[in-house]
Every structure is written in C-alpha cells, then in structure tokens.
A and B are shown apart, each in its own frame.
Chain A
Amino acid sequence: MSLSVAARMARRELRGGLKGFRIFLACLALGVAAIAGVGSVRSAIQAGLTDQGAVLLGGDAKARFTYRFANEEERDWLASISTEISEVTDFRSMVTVGEGDQADRALTQVKTVDDAYPLNGQLTLEPSIPLDQALAGNGAVMAPILADRLGLSPGDTFRLGSKEYTLTAKLLVEPDGMAEGFGLGPRTLLRTEAIEGSGLLSEGTLFEAEYRLLLPPDTDLDALKETALDRYRDSGIRWRDARSGAPGVERFVTRLGSFLVLVGLSGLAVGGVGISAAVRSYLSRKTSVIATLKTLGAGRSTIFQTYFIQIGVLSILGIAIGLVLGAGVPLVFAPWITAALPIPALFTIYPAPMIEAAIYGILTALLFTLWPLARAEDVRAATLFRDALDNTNWLPAKRYLIATILLLGALVGTAVAFSGNAWLTLWTTGGIFSALVLLVVAAMIVRWIARFSASAARGRPVLRWALGAIGGTKEGAASVVLSLGLGLSVLAAVGQIDGNLRNAIARDLPDIAPSYFFVDIQKDQMDGFMTRLNNDDAVSRVDSAPMLRAVVTHINGTPATEVAGNHWVVRGDRGLTYAAQPDERTIVTKGEWWPADYTGDPQMSFAAEEAEEIGLNLGDTVTVNVLGRDITATVTSFREVDFSTAGIGFVMTMNPASLQGAPHTFISTVYAEEASEAAILRDLANAYPNITAIRVRDAIDRVSELLTAIGTATRWGAAATLLTGFLVLIGAAAAGEQARTYEAAVLKTLGASRSRILRSFALRSALLGAAAGIVAIGAGILGGWAVSKFIMETGFTVIWPSVFGVVGGGILATLVAGMAFAWRPLAARPAQILRSRE
C-alpha cells in the first residue's frame, strides 16, 4: 500500500524534470562509463588474443625445449599427433655491420625456421617478396627498428657470429612475435640450416627449440596437454596450445585491466561524493514538501520510499548513459585503438564488462544516497513552522547503518570477484576508503585552520573574506578536498612511485649495475676473455659464473607447482650455476656450504628470500631438469641474493660435481667506465663472434619504456577520477552560487568593489585547490614512500615536479570551477538580491 502511494508521489515529483540532477547523472554516468570502457577494451583484447591464438602461437599447439632440440623419440611422438610440424629455434645474438674499429653492433633475438614456417598467419615483408625467396641461401629478414638502427637496407650484408648474411627484406609484421612477450632485442629471422658455420648454437649455448604443430580437427586439447606433460614433463618439455597463444601478454592485459578498473572505482567513489551532495541538496529543497506530506499523514517509510524511487529512477538513467558511453566510445574509436595496439583486438559489445560496470554503479549509487535518503524521513512536520532539520541526528537509523556496511561489503566482494586478484583489490579498495576518510579529516583540518587564521588576516579584507568563507561553511572545504583530493592523490602517488622507480633504474642502477652482460661464453674462451678484461684499467670488476638453464620440476618429490603455486621460481626455466665455494660477496644466512672438494650426492644453496616465499627448509629436496635430465639435490644452505643491482644472481647454486658434466657456457658481468664500453665490446666481439653482449643501459631503456606505458595507462585512469572530481567541483560551485550572490550583494552594500569581491572569490578557490593539492601530495608521498620502501625496495626521494604539478593542477581546477560561477554573483544588483531575502 505504502509503496504504491510512494510510487505515485515519486512520479508526480519527477515531473519537475532533471533540473538539479545534471551533476548527479554526469558523476554516475562518467564513473560507470570509465569502468565499462576499460572492461570493454580488456574484453576486446582478450577476445582478439583467443581468436588469433593459433596465429600468435604459430600453430595449434607448441612444445618447447630449453638448450636442446627434441630427441628422436620426442620428434616421432610430436609427428604422430600432428598433421604438420615446424621446428623453430630462438636465441639472442649480436648483429655486426662493418669491420674492425668501424664495426657497429646490436643485440638481436634470432629466430631460425624451417620450410614449413609459418604454419599459421602471414609475415609481411618490405619489399613484399615471398618468405622462401627472402630466406633463400643466407638471406635474412630483420625488424625495421634494428635495420634502421644499423643503417641496413635490403641487399646489405651483416654478420651473426662469424657468418655473413644478406638482408633481403624488412620484417613489418611477425604474427607469432608477441607470444613470448617482453624481449630485449628486435627480431632477425633466417633459415635454421643457414646458421651452420656461424659458430652460434654450439654446445651449451642458451637457445630454445620449438615444435609448432597443426593438429587434426576435433583434437581434445586438454587430453593432449595432459598426455604430453605425462610423457615428457621430466624431460623439461613445456606445452602450450592455441587457447592461450600469448599467455604473458594476456596476463599483462588482464592485470592492467583489473588495476585500471580499480582506478575507475576510485573515480566512481569521487562521483559518489557528488551524487551524495546532489541528493542532499535536492532533499533540502524538498524539506517543506516532506514536512507538508507528514502534516497530511505520510509515514516515515512512505517518505523514504518516495524519494528512494525517485533517486533510483535517476540512478538507472545515469547508469544506462554510462553503459552506452562505455560500450560506444571504444566501438567508435576501435579502428584507431586497433591500429595503436601491437596485439589483436576484437571490438564489439561485451556483456560481462557492462554487467560489471552496472553492478558497481548500482552499489555506489545505493551507498552514497542511502544516508541523505535516510535523513529525509527524519524531517518533522514542525519544519513548516521553524527550521527543525538541524535537530535531526547526524547518524541515520541503525538499519541504515547495517545496510551501509552490507553495501560496502558487497562492493568490495564484487570487486574481488571481478578482478580475480583479492590482494590487489583489497589493497586498492582499502586505499580508496582510507583516502576518503583521510580527506574528510583533512577537510575538517583545512576548515579549522582557515577559521583560526582568518583573525590573523585582519586588515586584509580580501584574504579574510576568503578564509572566513572556507572556515565558516560546512560544505566548502569538504566538497573541494573530497572531490579533487582522491584523483590528485592517485596522480600524486603515481608521480612519486613512477619517479622513484625511474630514478632507481635509470639514475641509480647504472651506478651499481654492470656495463655488460656477456652470455654464451664457451669454457675454452674464458681465459682469453678474462685476459682482455684484466688488462684494462677502465674495468673495475668482472664476475663470471657457469650458467645452465633448468626447470624446477619437484620439491620434496611433489610437483613444484603444487608446492609453490605460481611463484616465479617454478614458472618456466631458471638460471642455475655451480660453485665449489661461495665468493667473498656471498652471505650464507642459514646452513652450511659444501666442502670445496665435495663430490657426493647433489647439494643446493637456495636464495633465502625466495626459499621463504616458497616454504623451503634446510634438508628439503629440489628436483631440477637440466637438458632433459632430472637432478635431485638437497638444500643445505640459504644465502642472500640481491637482484636489484642487476649483477649476477642465481636462485639456485649447486656443488660442481652435480653439474660439471652437463654442456654449459659461462656468463660474465663487466663493470667498466662508460667511455671504455665501446672498446671492450669491439675487442671481445671481434675475438669471440659467438658471444652475445647485452648492454645494461639498453636493457634499462627498454624497462623504462615499459614503465612509461604502464604509468601512462594509470595516469589516464587517474584523469578519469579527476574529471569526475571536477564535475563534483562544478556541482559544488553551482550549488554555492546563490550564497556567493548574496555575499557579493551585502559586500557591495558595504562598499566593496567588484574587483575586490572577485579577488576574494578567486583567492578562496585557489586556497581550497592548494589545500586539496597539499593533502593529495601528503597522501601521494605517503603512498609512494610505502610502495618504494616495502614493495619496490628502493630508496625514496620526493619528486618535486610532480608535487608542483599536482598542487598547481588543484589550484587551476578549483579556479576554473569557481570563476565559472563567479560572474552571476558579481553582475547581480544588490537591491534585487537583498529584497528577495526580505
């Protein structure tokens, strides 16, 4: 009964149209649109990766071996399950152009292929010639960025190892190039048989051999994978099929997408502040209506339902607008997004992100409108005769408090469920909630400071009016600090984290990191290699170690992934070394190192931090697969390994007798003055063409590029939050226009000129913007420091340009919003305004 009456009354009140709800709708629509948009792009990429899985993978399925080709038995089995098979090798090498001192060198990721390549997809070459023609004889194709860097054009020659090749074309599109994710060197592609005589791929060289397979139709991919792993898991096989053609990319996109959705949630939270303010403002205008309804006999529940229905209808409208925008904008921009992405994407309307965004929108609207709605039912009929609204309790009834807690739980639970990453979600939502609480407290402090410093500004009326206005109203400081604070805080934190990380890798790391990593040094080359470096005064330090690659297959006899989950140490293959004794820099934290002449059962020293994460104890056994052979070693010691210096750091070190028999090469890090780096590379590359040198500064540049991309994506997310905050600010400025008009009228009556009033308005906007910026900087620096210290484990310094940018941005945003609504108060005639108040 009550509900139908409420619905009728709600319908009548909605005849008033959307006036006063524009900011409400914009906040909700923008927040929902941002989440739906990010989700749509993520779904489009995921669908693209799935759709193009076989092309990205290079076949329907792929078997991969590290350090070795498949043996005859393995090849026979692979041939037996497939309709076509293609063998591909992948390794790093150096491209050399020119001779002697004039030679130019660059790191490249070499792929050698057979006649069957590619099984799926098409390579695009420039000039457009068939691949067979391009790779005939010693022909090779190369990524344009590498060819351009070395000044190579089709027809020019270059060397890999000690053999000369001819560049026949530039490789514009390599459909299976993204499958391995992040690589340090651009691609060079040639026939496998052309590698013979180059000195590359000799025994112990680090390379991957891949067998891409075309499978018969209706092959059960799950069953096939299980069979492959059952048969060859212990031989070090790694298996992948087209359902997940580029898992690294997919994982990255999913994680970044989840993170951006969470950043989008912060935008929705800021929008919630605007939504709440709009509902409060609407209901305060309706106070006399509510009091009249109560006088006429309407109960509390009827009042609540009447306005709940109205706000509900408006929320649905706002969410619908957001969904249309979130689905539509990516579709409209699909051609440009597709062109800009290095990975495939299929743009269409995906229901899942729409549902996700709608649920977030509904929960946020409920959460932020419940309290104002609850207060509406507290309005007493006596309000008609005197202002009784302020006598209502600050806290709503208990049932609304319980509902608020349940809604908050539902919102966090939904976010956890959708993101699939509980920790990230809990940290982010916890961060948003803490930031909102912090901002509310900060707004109270700002108001308190303004109120008490107003007396210090006596004699400077423009400043005193501004401070009086900030300190004298409940809404002013809170609306600005809350609406701008969260977006600016995210931006400030990103600025501090990004800046410090960039400092750590680009400024600090080169000071402590080696100049070069040299890999694939043959054992018989080590003496000559060391002689060249030891005779160079510019070289301050050389670290060398034997290096093998191994897959951790079992821990204490149980498959490693069951013990360690998805820990990076058990994912893929890892470096492995041996040493008779720890060097002088090694710190053994627990256990005993084996005797120098130890030849007994295999023993292992494990990195202490990683061992703790996995849950390893002294005496546990770790089984590693090296070149298809399982070696089980007992963990006898833990030691500190510092990966942050980019020096040599092996998670696992074994006693020499366990590994010496296996073919392997050496790795070496060279610490030298920057000026002598070119000469070192020239001499060593000339003497040992098979050796690959990785210049650490180049690697750092690549990592920096990746970080820039992630930072940019996060900044876009923060920008959406800021835009919502700006809308809230506009709403607050619009709501305060009437008060400012009245204030201006009184001040004019007392003799204030318009320019003085304008300066006071501008000053209060600027002060509030600066306050929001300073609060955000405080939160950003705190967040940045915590992330740098506890997660990144780097030093922390305040990044001042970011600080000034954030404070300046805060001032600019509030000035724009404030000044946009300053003209009417300034232009209004005092007599009209004051008379209307009589």
Chain B
Amino acid sequence: MPEPVLSLTDVTLKLRGNAGLVEILHDITLDVQKGETLGLVGPSGSGKSSLLMIMGGLEQASSGRVLSLGQDLTAMNEDGLARFRRDHMGVVFQSFHLIPTMTALENVATPLELAGHKDAFDRAQAELEAVGLAARADHYPAQMSGGEQQRVALARASAPRPQILLADEPTGNLDGSNGSAIMDLLFGLRDRHGATLVLVTHANDLAARCDRVIRLNDGQIDTTAQAAE
C-alpha cells in the first residue's frame, strides 16, 4: 500500500467566534491517495472549506495530525507552511483571489517566481495559453470577467506543477456554462499533470466526476453517506 499523499488523523478545529469557541471540525480522520480525485460535499457550514484549508496548511488544526507527502503540517510554522505550498500545492478559490494590482501574467508567474524559476514568465505565458487566455495576459483582474479570472486562478494554481491541487467551490461564483468550462479545465489539468485533486463542491454532477466523495455533516464525516456513495 503506497503512502497516502494526505493523511489526517483525529483532526479537530475550534475557532473563536462572537458566541465563544465553536467546534468546526470534529475528529476527522482520512487518507487521500496519490492521483486520487476526492470530492468534499455537504451542506453549508458543514466544515468542507475548513477541512480543505487544513489540508492546505492555511488553517492550523486545534488538535490531531495532518501529514502531507509525509511531512507533518501541524509541526510547521507559518513560513514553513508557505514554503511547502510553494513547492507542492496549488489552491483554487471560489472568489478567485487574484492580486488586483497584478496583471493576469504576473499573477500566474508569482508562485513560479517565489520558487525561483528563471523562466517564470515564459511558463506563466504557456499556462495562460493552456487556459485560453493568452490574449488577456496584460489585463488586470478588474478588467476580466469572473470566468476569465477563475481561469487565471487555475493557471496560477497549476503553473508550478503541484502534486496536490485543492479547489474550494471553484465554480461557485460562475454561471453554468462558465462553471462547466472551468471544471473541464481543472480535470484536464489534473489528468495532464497527474496531481491529486481535492475538491469542495455543492454540485452533484461535479462530485460525480470524482473518484471518491466524502460528505461532511456538522464537522464530521458522514460515514453512512460515504458508504452509500
């Protein structure tokens, strides 16, 4: 049995809100295998996005252990986590999160620059071509549509060839046709580069394209539903 790419053991997340300490995730234990496509589904507030954030080291688990590619994310400091993402992960968000003061090309080149690639901009240009946005390379996010912005975000996430792709409702802010196009691109990129993909989604058709689906309810994995899927 090969070692899983992502391995979470008894992960709990508690956050302090206005009403006091709220438990967002409760004793989550799961493994994600190399090259697998995992869908995280569940109602709003079930903890899907929080779980994805913990997998990406963007959120620190309150307890439990998170191993990614054999490294313990819970033992790393913030800069260590940033370096780990730079070298191994790509993240796509529902709201794209492009840097507004950078052009499309510069946004895509940023993770490559951070990794010290000399050909960062050539590679970024190729990534934009791959998502069909070569002509929009010099445009700023504000000058692009939502669909175009998400394609730039996809290009940015896949440009460093990460071993793990994390996508948080990547079609949530897009209409049907744009959403389908983005999903085709996302799965196409995964297939081309052989990355492991973890996807948070509300869309059933999207979840159906995943190798495995995990349903969350009130911060816990719904084992009944998982068995049914």
Interface, chain A (partner B; CB < 8 A): 454, 458-459, 461, 464-465, 468-469, 471-473, 739, 743, 745-756, 829-832, 834-835, 837-838
B85/A750 in contact, CB under 8 A: yes
Closest to B162 in A: A751
Closest to B115 in A: A751
B58/A750 in contact, CB under 8 A: no
Q: Is B102 an interface residue (CB 8 A)?
A: yes
A752/B58 in contact, CB under 8 A: no
Closest beta carbon of chain A to B116's beta carbon, Å: 9
Known A473-B100, A838-B94; further 5 A-B contacts with Cβ < 8 A = A458-B113, A459-B118, A465-B110, A748-B78, A751-B114
A464/B113 in contact, CB under 8 A: yes
B109/A749 in contact, CB under 8 A: no
Contact partner of A834 (CB less than 8 A), chosen from B58, B82, B86, B111, is B58
- Taking CB atoms and an 8 Å cut-off, the chain B residues in 70-89 that contact chain A are 78-79, 82-87
Please give, as numbers and ranges, the residues of chain B lying within 8 Å of A471 by CB-CB distance: 101
Please give, as numbers and ranges, the residues of chain B lying within 8 Å of A752 by CB-CB distance: 82, 86, 114
What 0/1 readout, one digit per residue, does chain B (146-179) give for beta carbons within 8 Å of chain A? Answer: 0000000000100000000000100010000000
Range for the number of chain B residues in contact with chain A: 35 or more
Interface SS of chain A:
helix
Closest to A764 in B: B101
A751/B85 in contact, CB under 8 A: yes
Contact partner of A835 (CB less than 8 A), chosen from B49, B109, B115, is B49
Closest to A471 in B: B101
Contact partner of A753 (CB less than 8 A), chosen from B83, B87, B106, B121, is B83
Please give, as numbers and ranges, the residues of chain B lying within 8 Å of A473 by CB-CB distance: 100-101
B140/A472 in contact, CB under 8 A: yes
Question: How long is the Cα–Cα vector from A685 to B114 in the complex, in angstroms?
Answer: 81
Please give, as numbers and ranges, the residues of chain B lying within 8 Å of A469 by CB-CB distance: 101
Please give, as numbers and ranges, the residues of chain A lying within 8 Å of B82 by CB-CB distance: 748, 751-754
Question: How long is the Cα–Cα vector from A838 to B169 in the complex, in angstroms?
Answer: 10
Known A750-B114, A753-B83; judge A829-B59 contact (CB<8 A): yes
Q: Is B193 an interface residue (CB 8 A)?
A: no
Contact partner of A468 (CB less than 8 A), chosen from B59, B102, B114, is B102
A749/B101 in contact, CB under 8 A: no
B53/A831 in contact, CB under 8 A: yes
Contact partner of B93 (CB less than 8 A), chosen from A454, A755, A834, is A834
B101/A750 in contact, CB under 8 A: no
Give the residue among A464, A468, A739 with the most B Cβ atoms within 10 A. A468
Q: Is B120 an interface residue (CB 8 A)?
A: yes
- Taking CB atoms and an 8 Å cut-off, the chain B residues in 86-127 that contact chain A are 86-87, 91, 93-95, 97-102, 106, 109-111, 113-115, 118, 120-121
Question: How long is the Cα–Cα vector from A747 to B82 in the complex, in angstroms?
Answer: 9
B59/A749 in contact, CB under 8 A: no
Please give, as numbers and ranges, the residues of chain A lying within 8 Å of B58 by CB-CB distance: 748-749, 829-831, 834
A837/B97 in contact, CB under 8 A: yes
B110/A461 in contact, CB under 8 A: yes
A747/B99 in contact, CB under 8 A: yes
Closest to A835 in B: B49
B93/A459 in contact, CB under 8 A: no
Closest beta carbon of chain A to B124's beta carbon, Å: 10
B79/A754 in contact, CB under 8 A: yes
Closest to A476 in B: B101
Please give, as numbers and ranges, the residues of chain B lying within 8 Å of A746 by CB-CB distance: 97-99
Closest to A458 in B: B121
Please give, as numbers and ranges, the residues of chain B lying within 8 Å of A750 by CB-CB distance: 85-86, 110-111, 114, 156
Closest beta carbon of chain B to A830's beta carbon, Å: 5
B86/A838 in contact, CB under 8 A: no
Contact partner of B78 (CB less than 8 A), chosen from A459, A754, A835, is A754
A458/B83 in contact, CB under 8 A: no
Closest beta carbon of chain A to B175's beta carbon, Å: 15
Please give, as numbers and ranges, the residues of chain B lying within 8 Å of A468 by CB-CB distance: 99, 101-102, 106
| 15 CB < 8 A contacts A-B | A459-B113, A459-B118, A459-B120, A469-B101, A472-B102, A472-B140, A473-B101, A739-B100, A746-B97, A747-B99, A750-B110, A751-B85, A753-B79, A829-B58, A829-B60
Known A464-B113, A831-B58; judge A837-B95 contact (CB<8 A): yes
Closest beta carbon of chain A to B80's beta carbon, Å: 9
Question: How long is the Cα–Cα vector from A813 to B110 in the complex, in angstroms?
Answer: 29
Question: How long is the Cα–Cα vector from A506 to B59 in the complex, in angstroms?
Answer: 67
Question: How long is the Cα–Cα vector from A830 to B78 in the complex, in angstroms?
Answer: 10
Give the residue among B98, B114, B156 with the most A Cβ atoms within 10 A. B114
A472/B101 in contact, CB under 8 A: yes
Closest beta carbon of chain B to A72's beta carbon, Å: 89
Closest to A472 in B: B101
Please give, as numbers and ranges, the residues of chain B lying within 8 Å of A830 by CB-CB distance: 58
Top 6 A-B pairs, shortest CB-CB distance:
A751-B86, A472-B101, A831-B59, A461-B113, A831-B58, A831-B53
What 0/1 readout, one digit per residue, does chain B (9-46) give for beta carbons within 8 Å of chain A? Answer: 00000000000000000000000000000000000000
Closest to B113 in A: A461
Question: How long is the Cα–Cα vector from A756 to B111 in the complex, in angstroms?
Answer: 13
Closest to A742 in B: B97
Please give, as numbers and ranges, the residues of chain A lying within 8 Å of B97 by CB-CB distance: 745-746, 749, 834, 837
Please give, as numbers and ranges, the residues of chain B lying within 8 Å of A754 by CB-CB distance: 78-79, 82
Closest beta carbon of chain A to B136's beta carbon, Å: 16
Closest beta carbon of chain B to A267's beta carbon, Å: 31
Closest beta carbon of chain B to A501's beta carbon, Å: 45
What 0/1 readout, one digit per residue, does chain B (49-61) give for beta carbons within 8 Å of chain A? Answer: 1100100101110
Closest beta carbon of chain B to A469's beta carbon, Å: 5
Closest beta carbon of chain B to A388's beta carbon, Å: 15
Please give, as numbers and ranges, the residues of chain A lying within 8 Å of B106 by CB-CB distance: 454, 464, 468
Question: How long is the Cα–Cα vector from A755 to B79 in the complex, in angstroms?
Answer: 9
Closest beta carbon of chain B to A155's beta carbon, Å: 79
Question: How long is the Cα–Cα vector from A334 to B223 in the complex, in angstroms?
Answer: 80
B83/A751 in contact, CB under 8 A: yes
Question: How long is the Cα–Cα vector from A838 to B50 in the complex, in angstroms?
Answer: 13
Closest beta carbon of chain B to A136's beta carbon, Å: 84
Closest beta carbon of chain B to A838's beta carbon, Å: 5
Closest beta carbon of chain A to B95's beta carbon, Å: 5
Closest beta carbon of chain B to A461's beta carbon, Å: 4
Give the residue among A454, A464, A749, A756 with the most B Cβ atoms within 10 A. A749
Question: How long is the Cα–Cα vector from A347 to B91 in the complex, in angstroms?
Answer: 68
Closest to A749 in B: B91
Question: How long is the Cα–Cα vector from A837 to B100 in the complex, in angstroms?
Answer: 14
B49/A472 in contact, CB under 8 A: no
Question: How long is the Cα–Cα vector from A472 to B87 in the complex, in angstroms?
Answer: 28
Contact partner of B87 (CB less than 8 A), chosen from A461, A745, A751, A832, is A751
Closest to B93 in A: A834
Question: How long is the Cα–Cα vector from A835 to B56 in the complex, in angstroms?
Answer: 14
Contact partner of A461 (CB less than 8 A), chosen from B78, B100, B114, B172, is B114
Closest beta carbon of chain B to A743's beta carbon, Å: 6
Please give, as numbers and ranges, the residues of chain B lying within 8 Å of A739 by CB-CB distance: 100
Question: How long is the Cα–Cα vector from A444 to B106 in the complex, in angstroms?
Answer: 22
Closest to B110 in A: A750
Please give, as numbers and ranges, the residues of chain B lying within 8 Å of A831 by CB-CB distance: 50, 53, 58-59
B83/A747 in contact, CB under 8 A: no
Closest beta carbon of chain B to A429's beta carbon, Å: 36
Question: How long is the Cα–Cα vector from A468 to B172 in the complex, in angstroms?
Answer: 29
Please give, as numbers and ranges, the residues of chain B lying within 8 Å of A755 by CB-CB distance: 79
Question: How long is the Cα–Cα vector from A468 to B98 in the complex, in angstroms?
Answer: 13
Closest beta carbon of chain A to B166's beta carbon, Å: 10
Closest to B159 in A: A750
Please give, as numbers and ranges, the residues of chain A lying within 8 Å of B91 by CB-CB distance: 749
Question: How long is the Cα–Cα vector from A834 to B95 in the complex, in angstroms?
Answer: 9
Question: How long is the Cα–Cα vector from A282 to B35 in the complex, in angstroms?
Answer: 50
Closest to B85 in A: A751
Question: How long is the Cα–Cα vector from A464 to B120 in the complex, in angstroms?
Answer: 13
Closest to B106 in A: A468
Question: How long is the Cα–Cα vector from A493 to B96 in the complex, in angstroms?
Answer: 48
Please give, as numbers and ranges, the residues of chain A lying within 8 Å of B79 by CB-CB distance: 753-755
Give the residue among B58, B87, B109, B140 with the most A Cβ atoms within 10 A. B58
Closest beta carbon of chain A to B15's beta carbon, Å: 8
Please give, as numbers and ranges, the residues of chain A lying within 8 Å of B168 by CB-CB distance: 838
